[in-house]
Structure 1
Amino acid sequence: MSIKVSMHNWMRPEPIEHTIKRLARLGYDGIEISGEPQSFDAGEVRGLLDKHGLECWGAVTLMTVGRDLLDQDPYVRMGSVQYVKDCLTFVSELGGRIVTVVPSTVGKTVPMATPAEEWGWAVEALKRCQEHAERVGVRIALEPLNRFETYFLNRCEQALALAEEVGGDCGVALDAFHMNIEESDLLGAIRAAGDRLADFHVADNNRMPPGYGALDWDAIVRELVGIGYDGHMTVEFVASVDRSIISDRTEIGDASEAGGGVAMEKFLRDHSTGAVPESYYDRYAADSVNRLRAALAANSAPTI
Structure 2
Amino acid sequence: MSFKYSVVCDTLKWAGYDVLQEPRAILAAVKEAGYDGADLPGDPARLNARLVRQIVDELGLKVPEVLGAWAYFHAGENRDLAGADEQARQRGVEYSKRAIDLAVELGAQFFEICAAQPPVPQVPFPELPIQTLRENFTRAVAEICAYASARGVTILFEPLNLYEAYPGVLTSVYDALRLIDELGRDNLGIQPDVFHMNISESSVTDALRAAGRRIKVVHMNETNHYRLGAGHADFPAIVRTLKEIDFDGYVSIYMPLISQQVFQSSPAGYGRSGPAAAPLARRPDLRQVLAEQIGFLKEIERAVDAQRVNDQASRRSSA
Common fold by TM > 0.5: yes
For residues 118-267 of structure 1, the aligned pairs below 5 Å read 118-152=133-167, 153-169=170-186, 170-241=188-259, 253=262, 255=264, 257-260=265-268, 265-266=270-271
Report the CA distance shift for 1:17/1:105 in structure 2 as closer, same or farther (over 3 A): farther
How far apart, CA to CA, are the structure 2 residues paired with 1:297 and 1:80?
A: 41
Deviation at 1:136, TM superposition (A): 1.2
CA displacement at 1:254 relative to structure 2? 5.3
Q: Tell me the SS of whatever aligns to 2:227.
A: coil
Cα distance in 1 for partners of 2:259, 2:241 equals 32
Distance 1:267 1:141 in 2: 29
| 1:204–1:237 Cα contact (<8 Å) kept | no
Partners of 2:192 and 2:217 within 8 A in 1: yes
Aligned to 2:61: 54
**Partner of residue 20, structure 1:** 27
C-alpha deviation, 1:282, in angstroms: 4.1
Decide whether the 8 Å contact of 2:115 with 2:165 is kept in 1: no
Higher RCO (CA-CA < 8 Å; seq separation 6+): 2
| Distance in structure 1 (CA, Å) of the matches to 2:272 and 2:129 | 27
How far apart are 1:5 and its partner, in Å? 0.7
Q: Which has the larger radius of gyration?
A: 2
Work out whether residues 83 and 118 of structure 2, in 8 Å CA contact, stay in contact via their aligned partners in 1. no
- Identity across aligned pairs (percent)? 27
CA RMSD of aligned residues (A): 2.4
The farther-off stretch of 83-92 and 280-289 is: 280-289
Amino acid at match of 2:190: V
The one-letter code of the counterpart of 1:241 is: S
Residue-by-residue CA offset, 1:76-128 (whole Å, 9 max, x unaligned): 11110111122222112211111121123477531342211111010000001
Quick check: 8-17 or 36-45, which moved more? 8-17
The superposition leaves residues 280-301 of structure 1 with CA deviations (integer Å, 9 ceiling, x where unpaired) of: 5543322111112222233347
1:298 match: 303
TM-score (norm 2): 0.81
Conserved in 1, the CA contact under 8 Å of 2:116 and 2:164?
no
Alignment pair present for 1:3 and 2:6: no
Cα distance in 2 for residues equivalent to 1:201 and 1:214: 15
Contact 2:223 2:231 in 1 (8 A): yes
Task: Decide whether aligned partners of structure 1 residues 15 and 179 sit closer, same or farther in structure 2, where only a CA change above 3 A counts.
Answer: same
Could you list the runs of 5+ residues in structure 2 that have no partner in the other structure? Answer: 73-77, 274-279, 310-319
Q: What secondary structure, in the 3-state scheme, does the structure 1 residue paired with 2:270 have?
A: helix
Structure 1 CA distance for aligned equivalents of residues 24 and 43 of structure 2: 16
Deviations for 1:217-271, whole angstroms, at most 9, x for unmatched residues?
22211111211211111112441517xxxxxxxxx5351x2113xxx52499xxx
Q: Does 1:287 align with 2:302?
A: no
Q: Of residues 100, 103, 108 in structure 2, which corresponds to 1:91?
A: 103
> Displacement, 1:179?
0.8
Q: Does 1:39 align with 2:51?
A: no
Distance 1:267 1:104, change over 3 A: farther
C-alpha contact (below 8 Å) 1:100/1:143 kept by paired residues: yes
TM-score w.r.t. the length of structure 1 is: 0.85
Residues 155, 254 of structure 1: alpha-carbon distance in 2 compared, 3 angstrom cutoff: closer
Q: 2: CA distance between counterparts of 1:238 and 1:205?
A: 11
Residues 75-90 of structure 1 correspond to what in structure 2 (within 5 A)? 75-90=87-102
- The 8 Å contact of residues 65 and 111 in structure 2, kept in 1 or not, is answered as yes
- Secondary structure at 2:128's aligned position in 1? coil
Partner SS for 2:82: coil
Runs of at least 5 residues in structure 1 that lack an aligned partner in the other structure:
243-251, 269-274
- Distance in 2, Cα, partners of 1:34 & 1:142: 16
Q: Report the count of equivalent residues.
A: 284
Q: Is the 8 A contact 1:2 1:231 kept in 2?
A: no
Per-residue displacement from partner, 1:150-208 (whole Å, max 9, x unpaired)? 23322111121112222213111100111112211110000011121122101122222
